[in-house]
Amino acid sequence: MFGKVNCIAAAGIDGYLVQVEADVANGLPSFDMVGFLASEVREAKERVRTALRNSGYQMPPSRITINLSPADRRKQGNLFDLPIAIAILVAVGIIPQDYTKSTVFIGELGLDGQIRPVHGMLSLISKGKKEGIKRYIVPIQNAREAAVIQEVEIYGLKSLRETIQFLESPSKEYQVNVNPEDYLKVQEEENMDFSEISGQAIVKRAAEIAVAGMHNMLIIGPPGSGKSMLAKRIPTILPALTLEESIEISKIYSICGMLPEGEPLIRKRPFRSPHHTASPSSLIGGGIFPRPGEMSLADKGVLFLDELPEFQNTTLEVMRQPMEDRKVVISRVYGSDTYPADCLLLAAMNPCSCGYYPDRSICRCSMKQIQQYLGRISQPLLDRIDICVESPRVVYEELHKKQTNETSAQIRSRVEKAVQIQKLRYKNESILFNSQLSGKQMEHYCKLGTDGEELLRHVFNQMRLSVRAYDRILKVARTIADLEEVETITTEHLAEAITYRSLEQKFWDYGRQKEE
């Protein structure tokens, strides 16, 4: 006797269709599982055997063989228990094969037959929809998450016995429907605001530009100048998530089991701030069995690296390719997984070990010490940072000025307008923000006048810019023009964008000249 049901396995943040085949034949009683299985999948036979018995179904004293196809892809995770149990029941004739057609079964089984939740449900249902499968039986705890994917039928069930009863007599009472747009409309109140930051007008302006175009940004300044304070308020001016962005982020968090309890979607752009002791694997992902890292968890949001030079050099350098490609590819012997890593890199650092260079009235570091400290940040990494801005020490008068600072809501309204301009401009492209422009797209969307070309030519030669730095100046200028709601990039926009590249020379090149 033979039975077959559908399941979906996770691979990165995607999935692939798995056919669970069960054969029950005469012979010495045994329970064998094949199909390139991880240890937790092999252990499923004990969970399934006990769950069936405690649900009132005895496994026959026969030779039972379970195959998870395709056999050349490694199966891992706890989601195969339910489909294995159903396949066995089909094979022994308790459930007719017709009842399981065009249906995907996903879930872990407890020894008492209860169906337990699994990770990565969004990715699994998305893949099933692409394969044309309409009906899904999932754990009740995962049902709302699964129902985020529209135009499919999601049934949330509690136990193996309930699943069998449902297959014998399908009922709409188990179907779960969700309108994902309703979740995105509900926004949490922020407990921090840009109005709490006194002074630092240039840094706040740079942060607005960075967020509007999703440009990487580096803040340099002495201790206590407000670098971290400003960084923590960046989430309050980030543009709202689109449904597509929210689903992509939620897939990553679902795979990691980090979706908030009772929430099927991530509603806010993520803000991740790993400690400087983070390893390369924790930052970009990895491990024996690959998992997303901080760059992927910050996808469509902000990755904040405080005290940038304190990170290990190898940790910083592994970010270079993901920053350029906006994705992380983790390769292992048995295959490779791809995770999105399209985040805004926000970094903060002191200009030297004591933190007060170039103020020589306070700084006591030698030029060699300064260069050793700044040298921890490589030029290729600096090239990938669009905006570099100084956060000077705040003076007493700025703290006690009797004036009202701009609120996050005011800044965010300008950001939203600039984002909408980009959305309309790139509606026929595969991008959303200016920072994502390719070389060919820049030729079309970042055209300069004669004066602008001459200014950029002079700066390129004078500052000895790389081609990457040249491109990033144009992208930042494009965002500045969008914030002013004008289509043409003027020399004023270009000049402001150039100032955000010149600060790096003030610290890195000045130190080298002094040393020489």
pLDDT at res. 513: 46
State the pTM of this model.
Answer: 0.90
Separation of alpha carbons 187 and 378, rounded Å? 39
Please state the length of the chain: 516
Q: What is the enclosing helix (H) or strand (E) of 345?
A: strand 344-349
- Structural tokens at position 419: 């984002």
By three-state DSSP, how is residue 428 classified? coil
Domains of the chain: 2-178 (3.30.230.10), 194-515 (3.40.50.300)
3-state secondary structure 274-323: CCCCCCHHHHHEECCCCEECHHHHCCCCEEEECCHHHCCHHHHHCCHHHH
Between the two ends of the chain, the Cα-to-Cα distance in Å is: 83
Question: How high is the pLDDT of residue 505?
Answer: 63
The answer to whether the CB of 32 falls within 8 A of the CB of 65 is yes
- What three-state secondary structure class fits 189? coil
485: exposed, middle or buried (Cβ count in 10 Å: 0-12, 13-18, 19+) = exposed
**What integer pLDDT is reported at residue 511 of this predicted model?**
46
Residue of 269, 282, 19 whose CA lies nearest to 128: 19
Q: What is the pLDDT of residue 312?
A: 93
Residue keyed to tokens 């175009």:
213
CB-CB contact of 381 with 216 (8 Å): no
Question: Taking a C-beta distance cutoff of 8 angstroms, is the pair 468, 386 a contact?
Answer: no
Please report the DSSP string for 42-79 in residue order: HTHHHHHHHHHHHTT-PPPSSEEEEEEESTTS-B-SST
DSSP, res 190: P
CB 215 within 8 A of CB 437: no
Q: Is 63 exposed, middle or buried (0-12, 13-18, 19+ CB in 10 A)?
A: middle
> Which pLDDT score is estimated for 289?
76
pLDDT score for 392:
87
Scored b (16 or more CB within 10 A) or e, 383-406 reads bbbbbbbbbbebeeeeeeeeeebb
pLDDT in tens, the chain (516 residues): 899 999 999 888 889 999 999 999 988 889 999 998 988 999 999 999 999 999 999 888 899 999 999 988 889 889 999 999 999 999 999 999 999 989 999 999 999 999 999 999 999 999 999 999 999 999 999 999 999 999 999 999 999 999 999 999 999 999 999 888 887 777 677 788 998 888 888 999 999 999 999 999 999 999 988 899 999 999 999 999 999 999 999 999 999 999 988 888 999 999 999 999 999 999 999 877 788 999 999 999 999 999 999 999 999 999 999 999 999 988 877 678 889 999 999 999 999 999 888 888 888 898 889 888 988 999 899 999 999 999 988 777 776 776 778 999 999 999 999 999 999 999 999 899 999 999 899 999 999 989 999 999 999 998 888 899 999 999 999 999 999 999 999 999 999 999 998 776 666 655 444 444
Strand duo 217-220 + 387-390: pairing: parallel
> Residue 515: what pLDDT?
43
Q: Is the peptide bond before 70 cis (omega within 30 degrees of 0)?
A: yes
Burial bucket for residue 472 (CB in 10 Å: 0-12, 13-18, 19+)? buried
